[in-house]
Amino acid sequence: MKELLRTLVEIPAPPGYEGLVRNQIREWIEPLVDEIRIDPLGNLLAVRNQANAPRLMLVAHMDEIGLMITHVDQQGFARFVALGGVMPIHCVGGRVRFLNGAQGVIGVEKNPASSEIPPLEKMFIDFGASSVEDCPVRVGDVAVFDRPFLDLGKRVVSKAMDDRVGVAVLIETLRRLEQSVFELYFVFSVQEEVGVRGATVAAFGVEPDLGLAVDVTATGDTPKGHRMEVRLGKGPAIKIRDAGMIADPRVVRWMIQTAEKAKIPYQREILEFGGTDARAIQLSRSGVPTGVLSIPCRYIHAPSEMVDMEDVENAVRLLLRLLRTSHPFELM
């Protein structure tokens, strides 16, 4: 699965420009499903039919945080805005790569009076150009962070673990899946990082009976990190709450009971900030019972997001069990 993940994270896909990663996913999964389509917003939907079964929508988002050019000055320096939760602390000295192949470095205006981290408005991208004609990008061009995949053995690092690791979990699950008690909609969504926009329309179109997102969550296991119980390598996390949703308690219980029965390690997750596509599913139409299977990840939204391959493997194992285990309503 490491090779699958490596290939996925190296494909650039800023919000709204997910085409390259969508093409790759489509090529891999088309032979594994009964039906596949792309909706008008760009979400990729793959269906495993099952007559008279409740419909489960699984979602992982294809996009990663990135940036967009807003202005190029006479010297060829470009200003930009964030696409998603780009943090200034991770920017200065970083490198970016545009969809047209252009590469540049992020510089910052001098501010001798302050040791504070400057806002993105004070930063610019230097392409080594010396005039506006020389600059390889134009207003509206989009980029992602330029940082190669790093293999540390059990743990791996990339600028796009959020949420290519979720995409990898869904693809691997499809590859190993035999039977399910659900009709399955595997949704690879667009524009999560700018406000769960893809999942919002996908959930409306799919009309699921039950929803499950696979995405990263933070950890509390680094020096003076968040006060949070999730740790890398201790198993996938079952979300109970984040800033965007209270996971349906019936879904949480279904997930926990299934993990315990299968003796798959799991962690109980409360994330005090952030949210996922699950929020959009939960609030679609007249409401959908929804949960989240989370992959613990250090340094989310930094250019070096770290996950543990054992958690990724256990997420696939748990998901496969869940797809064979009946609807949570029946557990009430």
List active site positions: 192
Q: Please report, as residue ranges, which positions from 209 to 248 form the binding site for Zn ion (by CB under 5 A).
A: 215
Of the pair 48, 279, the CB lying nearest Zn ion is at 279
Of the pair 215, 269, the CB lying nearest Zn ion is at 215
Q: Which residue is nearest to Zn ion (CB)?
A: 163
Kindly state the number of chain residues that form the binding site for Co ion, as judged by CB under 5 A.
Answer: 1
Which of residues 163, 269, 308, 311 is near Zn ion by CB under 5 A? 163
Q: Please report, as residue ranges, which positions from 136 to 195 form the binding site for Co ion (by CB under 5 A).
A: 162
The owner of tokens 């009076």 is: 113
**Least Cβ distance, residue 193 to Co ion (angstroms):** 5
Which of residues 63, 64, 141, 162 is near Zn ion by CB under 5 A? 162
The residues pairing with 292 across neighbouring beta strands, listed in sequence order, are 213
Encoded amino acid at 147, one letter? R
Rounded Cα gap, residues 60 and 278, in angstroms: 9
Confirm if 244 and 283 have CB atoms less than 8 A apart. no
**Least Cβ distance, residue 213 to Co ion (angstroms):** 12
- φ, ψ of residue 241 to 5 degrees: the values are -160, 145
**Least Cβ distance, residue 315 to Co ion (angstroms):** 17
Confirm if 126 and 104 have CB atoms less than 8 A apart. yes
**Least Cβ distance, residue 302 to Co ion (angstroms):** 11
Of the pair 162, 311, the CB lying nearest Zn ion is at 162
Of the pair 125, 214, the CB lying nearest Zn ion is at 214
Between CA 183 and CA 244, with CA 165 as vertex, the angle to 5 degrees is 75
CB atoms within 10 A of CB 238: 24
Rounded Cα gap, residues 54 and 48, in angstroms: 12
Residues of this chain that bind Co ion (CB under 5 A): 162
